[in-house]
Amino acid sequence: MTTVSSTTSSTTSSTTATSTTSKSTSSTSTSATANATKTAAQALFTSLQTGSGVDLSTLVPSLIEAQFAAKTAALKAKADTLSAQISDISSIRSSITDFASALASLAQGGTLATQATSSDPSSLSVTTAAGAKLAGMSKSISINALATAQVSSTKSSFSSTASLGTGSLSIKVGSNDAVSITIDSSDSTPSALAAKINAANTGVKASVITDSGGNAYLSFTGATGKDNSFTITATEGDTAGLSRLNVGNNASGTTTNSTAANASITMDGVTVERASNTITDLIPNVSMTLSAVTSKPIALTGTSPSSALSTVVTNFVSTFNDNMNALNKAIDPINGDLRSDPAARALAQKMRTLTTTKLVPGDSSTAGPKTLADLGVKTEKDGTLSVDSVRLSKALAQYPDIVEKMFQASGDNVMGLSAQMNSVQMSATSSVYGLTASYNNLSKQQSDNSDAQSKLSDTRQTASDAMTQRFAAMNSRVSAYKSVQSFMDQQVKMWTKSN
């Protein structure tokens, strides 16, 4: 029932607005008619004073203008009003949508949530992903060992253009099945053989290191972690030499410079190992990068984004005021294009109550701010907002976790500011009760007005054609009468002269 009522109200509002505007332009239409009538009368008087009959090029347009001036002016005034209303609705609707979307993106981005902070970022750096719940977090972390990768290289160098041999190389990484790579004469130079190994994606990367004499060493590197150690076993083909690339199993042609090992850290007294120096599975939505072994524990804490929250409140108020000023202008009771539109007025009322809307759960007995007003954001008489910076700073200092919750994404806090702005956006975009309903109704009126103007133009042309025909006939008769009058005048003068 409410939906139907809202739709009906929206339709009625546009009609009311148009009616009000039509009344305000009635004096203009009357003036236009009076001016057109005066012009037509003057044209007729002038025409009848000439000696060649009626001047149709002046008289007919003047009379037609006098006949249709009122209707033309009324339709044009209505068209101008509808265009202004549609323009205002489009602008306000777009601006509110952009505002709500920007706030939602900011809330989802994670910069308004508590960030993980390391006391020794040179040894342990951290990044916080969106959605992290880190309020009150305090961890003690010691880095006992870094994850390392196995690195093996040839003991001897080779000519960069010579063949290293043909056959196959079997590469086995950890407990994975061995992968066999065929090496023929076209793949046997150091750079070509390295490329062939890399293309196989076995988990071992080969590279060529050139010494000062231009000769090449081959280096083989695996992934970090003890389970990623590897062996390379050659099977000689027609051209011997691949066995020089064997790795592991007492190979004599290569040396292992670094072994594969896990990273080891102790967090809150519990020691764990990971294959990588980037650890993402210990604290949800927090990525830790290990850079150095530590001699003392590192403090990992959650730091409230007080500065970011203070800035976003200020920016929110500024953007809100821009939107509210535009809306106030549109619904101004005297000059506003949308002054009689209930959807626009409902949107303004909803925005006016935003500062007193509860943004976090809890009743009055629960300590801490619950609304924007509690943060020092005040609604002025015209609906715009102002910020008490002292009160805002105090709230951020005393209740950082609660303030942070107010600005969480709508999925995390269905009462938060982002969710409330989504509701405001719905009032602006709904095709049932919002500005879109008004937009659709006004667009229909605009189309009807355009049709009416087109029909009036056709009617005007028809009347002009008919009037031209009538005056043309009259013009012919007037010319004949004047010819007779001229002849009679000459005869009288002749008679008078002869006497």
Rounded to the nearest angstrom, the gap between the alpha carbon of residue 169 and the centroid of all alpha carbons in its chain is 54
Same domain, 433 and 335: yes
Q: What's residue 54's pLDDT?
A: 55
pTM above 0.75, yes or no: no
Q: Give the residues across from 128 on adjacent strands.
A: 286
Q: What percent of the chain has pLDDT over 90?
A: 60
Q: Is residue 484 part of a domain?
A: no
Q: Is residue 129 part of a domain?
A: yes
Q: Which of 38-42, 49-53, 413-417 has the lowest mean pLDDT?
A: 49-53
Find the mean pLDDT for residues 383-393.
Answer: 94
Q: How many residues does the chain have?
A: 499
Residue-number span of the structural domain to which 204 is assigned? 149-258
Is pLDDT at 415 greater than 80 in this prediction? yes
Neighbours of 314 (CB within 10 A): 14
| Structure-token pair, residue 327 | 């809306």
Q: Is residue 467 part of a domain?
A: no
Q: Is residue 437 part of a domain?
A: yes
> Of 402, 418, 441, which marks where a domain is finished?
441
**210 vs 128: CA distance, rounded Å:** 41
> Of 258, 274, 294, which marks where a domain is finished?
258
Instruction: Burial-class residue 93 by CB neighbours within 10 Å (0-12, 13-18, 19+).
Output: buried
Q: What's residue 275's pLDDT?
A: 96
Q: Pick 134 or 474 by higher pLDDT.
A: 134
Q: Are 86 and 444 in contact (CB under 8 A)?
A: no
Is pLDDT at 344 greater than 80 in this prediction? yes
Same domain, 191 and 61: no
Is pLDDT at 57 greater than 90 in this prediction? no
Q: What's residue 132's pLDDT?
A: 76
Q: What's residue 389's pLDDT?
A: 93
Same domain, 269 and 186: no
